Chains A and B, each alone.
Chain A
Amino acid sequence: MSHDSGFGSGGYNFAYLDENTKRMIRRALLKAVAIPGHQVPFGAREMPLPYGWGTGGIQVTAAILGPRDVLKVIDQGADDTTNAVSIRRFFSRVAGVRGTTRTAEATIIQTRHRIPETPLTEAQTIVYQVPMPEPLFRLEPRLAETRRMHALADYGLMHVKLYEDIARHGHVSTAYNYPVMVGGRYLMSPSPIPAFDNPKMHRMPALQLFGAGREKKIYAVPPYTEVRSLDFEDHPFRPHRADGCCALCGSATSYLDEVVTDDRGGRMFVCSDTDYCEERQEAAAAAPASETEDAA
């Protein structure tokens, strides 16, 4: 143990965490991958950012990140929010890692509340920030009891809740954090992504890792693993998407945010995924007029 990587001269370790903490998180990550959808407890550390800033996701990213990685951080689909910029800067400072806003360029994507529109590949890992990892917490507040339910795969309570929803509203009213079954065994919270993004998790070529800092849990979905949104035969899962096209790039398939454009109640829909939207606008600007029309 005569050498080190030269990091730490600024008073911090490579990727901020000390080696014992990284090893502990790495061991938890491997078991999470080996048991898809199962929440593995870990000894979360205090991070120099407040809870709610994705300390669980940051610790997962810090435990896997290396100097050759290219990191993208998104918050609600955008790379330029204070939260996303802070996290990207943090890793640039403590790990010297290159940041990007381009989904296709990133090797690691840390996200809060969205999955990028551009399909992820085998060369990528997506790290979700998770505020509440327990999908049953609203139905059963006792942790010992939810652990027992996961051990027995006893998820009747969740089915009853969804069915009551259907009875009351005619459909499942859950628009975010819509529960999924992973590998046909574990009920899992997908984190507060829109239900629209749930199908992207199913058999995704990229590795999906989830970190919950306050609740001290890590879980994972390996590549090409079955992820099914809970539903019923007579009420199949139907994720909601605003009916319209992006006002900036014309996409008719991306997830849209409604934005207020002036103080007289003017509104428009734009892509929530800012990188996807910008790339489409750039492609349209670069293409000859006839192709632009084809794409529209």
Chain B
Amino acid sequence: MMQPGFHDPVLDAQSGFRAVLEAMSRPGRVQALPPGLTPPAPLQPATAAVLLTLADAETPVFSDAGTAAAEWLRFHAGCPLVASPAAATFLCVTGTPPALEEIDLGTDEAPQDGATLVLQVAALREGGALRLSGPGIEREHRLHVEGLPEGFLAARAALAPLYPRGMDVILCAGTRIAALPRTTHVMEG
């Protein structure tokens, strides 16, 4: 049987959106999403809530999370699922992300077409080894991410010269999220 979606689609999407907006506005600050979602494995509640909040029939989604997750997303968000990362508005990634040059980064005139990578990791908390700076950050935010794919930060940093083209990342773990918009500079250690 299909696991349920949001208990209250209107208000859960509203509070989910405010958490994502806050995360995107203050990169590296960890936001808690409303608990209660029980998506199919391997999707965790935050990953599922972000996608239910933002995806719909207008937004092709690339997912590496398997058939049950794909069916659940298709049913509750109504989004088309695409096999090609380049065709996706949202990428739901629970394993190794596709090569970043395969992702739509938008154009100089329409950089807003750059995709959003919803990247599920093992754990997230404030403080830690990553030092973030850029818009939304007063001086520096520190973030601890467990389970970030090998080489991901370097591949992401290689996109910075393309700005305003780029990709925005929402990291998800359990019921928590933190965002790395394309403007955020990340230093390790």
Q: A5-B8, A26-B53, A30-B168 are in contact. Are A147 and B109 (CB under 8 A)?
A: yes
Provide the main secondary structure of the chain B interface: loop
Q: Are B24 and A33 in contact (CB under 8 A)?
A: yes
Q: A28-B112, A30-B168, A35-B112 are in contact. Are A222 and B4 (CB under 8 A)?
A: no
The answer to whether B58 has its CB under 8 Å from any CB of chain A is yes
Q: A19-B9, A27-B59, A222-B136 are in contact. Are A34 and B182 (CB under 8 A)?
A: yes
Chain A's nearest CB lies how many Å from the CB of B1?
13
Q: Which residue of B lies closest to A185 (CB)?
A: B164
Q: A35-B164, A35-B183, A38-B164 are in contact. Are A29 and B10 (CB under 8 A)?
A: no
Instruction: For the complex, give the distance between the alpha carbons of A6 and B177 in Å.
Output: 28
B positions within 8 Å CB-CB of A:
4-11, 13-15, 17-18, 20-21, 24-26, 53-54, 56, 58-59, 76, 89, 107-109, 111-112, 114, 116, 135-138, 163-164, 166, 168, 181-183
Q: Are A64 and B17 in contact (CB under 8 A)?
A: yes
Instruction: For the complex, give the distance between the alpha carbons of A207 and B136 in Å.
Output: 8
Q: Which residue of B lies closest to A4 (CB)?
A: B10
The answer to whether A168 has its CB under 8 Å from any CB of chain B is no
Chain B's nearest CB lies how many Å from the CB of A106?
15
Q: A1-B9, A4-B9, A183-B183 are in contact. Are A225 and B17 (CB under 8 A)?
A: no
The answer to whether A192 has its CB under 8 Å from any CB of chain B is no
Q: Are A66 and B183 in contact (CB under 8 A)?
A: no
Chain A's nearest CB lies how many Å from the CB of B129?
22
Contacting chain B: which of A76-84, A148-156, A172-180?
Answer: A148-156
Instruction: For the complex, give the distance between the alpha carbons of A120 and B74 in Å.
Output: 41
Q: A5-B8, A223-B136, A224-B136 are in contact. Are A35 and B21 (CB under 8 A)?
A: no
Q: How many A-B residue pairs have CB under 8 A?
A: 125
A positions within 8 Å CB-CB of B:
1-5, 7, 13-15, 19-20, 22-24, 26-36, 38, 40-41, 63-67, 122, 147-148, 150-152, 183, 185-186, 203, 205, 207, 222-225
A31: B residues at CB distance < 8 A: 111-112, 114, 168
A36: B residues at CB distance < 8 A: 135, 183
Instruction: For the complex, give the distance between the alpha carbons of A35 and B108 in Å.
Output: 11
Instruction: For the complex, give the distance between the alpha carbons of A19 and B164 in Å.
Output: 29
Q: Are A5 and B54 in contact (CB under 8 A)?
A: no
B7: A residues at CB distance < 8 A: 3
B13: A residues at CB distance < 8 A: 19, 22-23
Q: Are A14 and B10 in contact (CB under 8 A)?
A: yes
Q: Are A64 and B181 in contact (CB under 8 A)?
A: no
B181: A residues at CB distance < 8 A: 33-34, 222
Q: Are B10 and A30 in contact (CB under 8 A)?
A: no
Closest 3 CB pairs of A and B: A151-B108, A34-B181, A31-B112
Instruction: For the complex, give the distance between the alpha carbons of A66 and B16 in Å.
Output: 11
A150: B residues at CB distance < 8 A: 109
Q: A222: which of B9, B10, B25 is its contact (CB, 8 Å)?
A: B25
Q: What 16 new A-B contacts, CB under 8 Å, besides A33-B21, A147-B109, A222-B26?
A: A4-B8, A4-B10, A19-B9, A22-B14, A23-B54, A27-B54, A34-B181, A35-B164, A41-B112, A66-B18, A148-B109, A151-B109, A185-B163, A223-B136, A224-B135, A225-B136
A38: B residues at CB distance < 8 A: 111-112, 164
Q: Are A30 and B9 in contact (CB under 8 A)?
A: no
Q: Which residue of A lies closest to B10 (CB)?
A: A5
Most A CB within 10 A of own CB, among B5, B21, B76, B114: B21
Q: B8: which of A3, A22, A183 is its contact (CB, 8 Å)?
A: A3
Instruction: For the complex, give the distance between the alpha carbons of A152 and B111 in Å.
Output: 12
Q: List, sorted by A's number, 23 A–B pairs whose CB atoms are closer than 8 Å.
A: A1-B9, A3-B8, A5-B10, A15-B14, A24-B58, A26-B21, A26-B53, A26-B54, A31-B112, A31-B168, A33-B25, A35-B183, A38-B164, A65-B14, A122-B26, A150-B109, A185-B164, A207-B21, A222-B25, A222-B26, A223-B25, A223-B135, A223-B138
Instruction: For the complex, give the distance between the alpha carbons of A203 and B137 in Å.
Output: 9
Q: Are B108 and A183 in contact (CB under 8 A)?
A: no
Instruction: For the complex, give the distance between the alpha carbons of A67 and B6 in Å.
Output: 17
Q: Which residue of B lies closest to A182 (CB)?
A: B135
Most B CB within 10 A of own CB, among A40, A148, A223: A223
